[in-house]
């Protein structure tokens, strides 16, 4: 086996990834551990995390500002795809993993590293997403996964780290496992492992409880161009600021909470809680705009594509030939998705109350109306229905004769 001298580690600053540093050096004999911290808009003190990696034994600790890339090349394609895994989850966490993996591979190439590493356990989905993305982009790189092999409890991992100068967490340990980025939060573990337990209000930070939402509704207009959200009302915003604004608007009214049972890639069911107010709202608005700008057969087939797209992303196949093909189809449908959607936010609800497209609307009031301005030729409906139901009529006649 080739000796591994340098490894690039995906680093979050938590117990597991911190312990990974001395573990890689002492159990694998790796001389250089380079950590990579991804800035995905999570709002943490990343310089503190970088310094913690160095204090834990990393030879170098890098921070990558990936926020703009994350929104433009991951979140926005998900919006155009109306991507909801199991028709509920907008993939806020899953979308981040291939981007992190891509940067791990790029850094490994640049620094002539022999391997990449992450701190995922063998029970979750993230290990699959990281490994598949790394294998697709750097099939020659070795993937090292200490948390899948060390068989340590959290308490044992903390003690292991203390032996190498890594301090135990100072504050009282939260029972929850939480992942945060600009698009949302995922929360699991603790009492949430009982699917009948109501999620406590303390776990939510992006969305208000219904009791604390405004008594009056807010009407929000979202403007799209080629399927991309570009403005809120009359305010045109860059992608990052737009996501931040819809997060605030929707979250303030308690919209964007998801409580679901997931079928993990590894074959077990898990209870997951998500907050993703902005992404959910934008997908809802985008889907509504498509209802007025896309042909019915396109909408029907795109629904099949959307479901598969979301499955591929959830299951770790961001870098795959099938997803690349689905991307091309979805992109071809979006040139006419231009216009605006009006949504009323109130007490946890986001209710569509209007939609329009100045240049691409397939809705014609002069055909849909029942007023005197109706241009629809009612007499031609009889011939259409006769032809439309011909095969069914023949079947019925034959069935009647054979009784």
The reported pLDDT for the residue numbered 295 is: 96
344 is catalytic: no
Chain Cα centroid distance, residue 70: 10
For CA atoms 280, 282, 288, 293, the dihedral sign is negative
Which of 177, 241, 300, 364 is labelled catalytic? 177
- pLDDT at position 399: 87
Domain boundaries, the chain: 6-175, 178-356, 366-401
Q: Check if 171 is active-site.
A: no
- CB of 75 within 8 A of CB of 243? yes
- 84: burial class by Cβ within 10 Å (0-12, 13-18, 19+)? buried
Q: Using the CB atoms, write b or e for 107-125: b if 16+ within 10 Å.
A: bbeeeebbbbbbbbeeebb
Candidates 18, 56, 81, 97; catalytic one: 97
What's the confidence (pLDDT) of residue 372? 72
- The residue annotated as part of the active site, out of 12, 16, 129, 131, is 16
For residue 148, how many other CB atoms are within 10 A of its CB?
Answer: 14
Quote the pLDDT of residue 183. Answer: 97
Active site residue 257: no
- How many other CB atoms are there within 10 angstroms of residue 24's CB atom? 23
CATH fold of 366-401: 1.20.5
Four-way CATH pick for 6-175: 3.40.50.620, 3.40.50.300, 1.20.1600.10, 1.10.3720.10: 3.40.50.620
The one catalytic residue in 12, 81, 126, 357 is 126
Q: Which residues on adjacent β-strands are paired with residue 223?
A: 231, 340
Taking the C-alpha atoms of 281, 285, 290 and 296 in order, what is their torsion angle to the nearest 10 degrees? 80
Residue 152: the pLDDT is 85
Mark out the alpha helices in 163-276 (DSSP H runs). 239-252
Distance CA 259, CA 262 (A): 10
Cα 376 to Cα 323: distance, rounded to the nearest angstrom: 42
Per-residue model confidence (pLDDT) at position 170: 52
CA gap 249, 267 in Å, rounded: 37
184 phi and psi angles, rounded to 5 deg: 165, -175
pLDDT at 93: 94
Q: How far apart are CA 74 and CA 63, in angstroms?
A: 19
Q: Where are the beta strands (DSSP E) in 41-153?
A: 60-65, 115-117, 142-144
179 is catalytic: no
pTM value is 0.92
Q: Alpha-carbon distance 180 to 171, whole Å?
A: 19
* DSSP SS3 for 341: strand
pLDDT at 100: 97
Domain 178-356 indexed as CATH 3.30.565.10: no
At 173 the pLDDT is 61
The pLDDT tens digits for 150-167 are 888 878 888 888 888 888
Dihedral sign for Cα atoms in the order 105, 111, 115, 120: negative
Residue 259 near residue 266 (C-beta atoms within 8 A): no
What pLDDT shows up at residue 30? 93
Q: For every one of its 403 residues, what pLDDT tens digit does the chain have, with 9 covering 90 and above? A: 467 899 999 999 888 899 999 999 999 999 999 999 999 999 888 999 999 999 999 999 999 999 999 999 999 999 999 999 999 999 999 999 999 999 999 999 999 999 999 999 888 899 999 999 999 999 999 999 999 998 888 788 888 888 888 887 655 567 888 899 999 999 998 999 999 999 999 999 999 999 999 999 999 999 999 999 999 999 999 999 999 999 999 999 999 999 999 999 999 999 999 999 999 999 999 999 999 999 999 999 999 999 999 999 999 999 999 999 999 999 999 999 999 999 999 999 999 999 999 999 999 888 777 777 777 778 888 888 898 999 998 999 888 887 7
pLDDT at 232: 97
- Alpha-carbon 201 to chain mean position: 23
- Residue matched to tokens 């492992």: 193
């Amino acid at each position: 086996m080739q000796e591994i001298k340098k490894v690039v580690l995906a680093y979050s600053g938590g117990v597991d990834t911190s312990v990974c540093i001395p573990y890689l050096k002492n159990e694998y004999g790796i001389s250089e551990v380079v950590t990579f911290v991804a800035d995905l808009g999570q709002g943490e003190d990343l310089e503190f995390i970088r310094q913690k990696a160095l204090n834990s034994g990393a030879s170098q600790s890098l921070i990558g500002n990936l926020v703009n890339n994350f929104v433009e090349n991951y979140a926005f394609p998900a919006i155009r795809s109306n991507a909801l895994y199991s028709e509920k989850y907008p993939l806020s966490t899953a979308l981040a993993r291939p981007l992190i993996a891509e940067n791990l591979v790029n850094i490994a190439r640049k620094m002539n590293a022999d391997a990449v590493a992450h701190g995922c356990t063998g029970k979750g989905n993230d290990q699959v997403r990281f490994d598949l993305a790394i294998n697709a982009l750097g099939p020659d790189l070795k993937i090292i996964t200490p948390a899948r092999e060390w068989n340590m409890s959290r308490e044992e991992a903390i003690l292991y780290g203390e032996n190498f100068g890594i301090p135990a967490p100072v504050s009282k340990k939260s029972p929850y496992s939480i992942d945060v980025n600009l698009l949302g939060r995922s929360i699991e573990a603790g009492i949430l492992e009982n699917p009948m337990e109501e999620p406590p209000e303390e776990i939510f930070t992006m969305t208000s409880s219904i009791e604390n939402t405004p008594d009056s509704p807010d009407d929000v207009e979202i403007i799209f161009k080629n399927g991309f959200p570009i403005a809120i009302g009359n305010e045109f915003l860059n992608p990052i600021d737009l996501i931040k604004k819809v997060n605030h608007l929707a979250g303030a009214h308690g919209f964007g909470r998801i409580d679901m049972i997931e079928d993990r890639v590894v074959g077990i069911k898990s209870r997951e809680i998500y907050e993703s107010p902005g992404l959910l709202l934008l997908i809802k608005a985008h889907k509504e705009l498509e209802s007025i700008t896309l042909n019915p057969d396109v909408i029907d087939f795109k629904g099949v594509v959307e479901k598969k797209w979301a499955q591929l992303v959830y299951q770790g196949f961001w870098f795959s030939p099938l997803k690349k093909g689905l991307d091309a189809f979805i992109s071809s449908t979006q040139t006419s998705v231009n216009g605006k959607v009006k949504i009323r936010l109130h007490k946890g609800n986001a209710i569509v109350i209007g939609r329009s497209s100045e240049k691409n609307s397939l809705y014609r009031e002069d055909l849909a109306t029942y007023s005197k301005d109706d241009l629809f030729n009612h007499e031609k409906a009889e011939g259409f229905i006769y032809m439309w139901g011909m095969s069914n009529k023949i079947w019925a006649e034959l069935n009647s004769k054979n009784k």
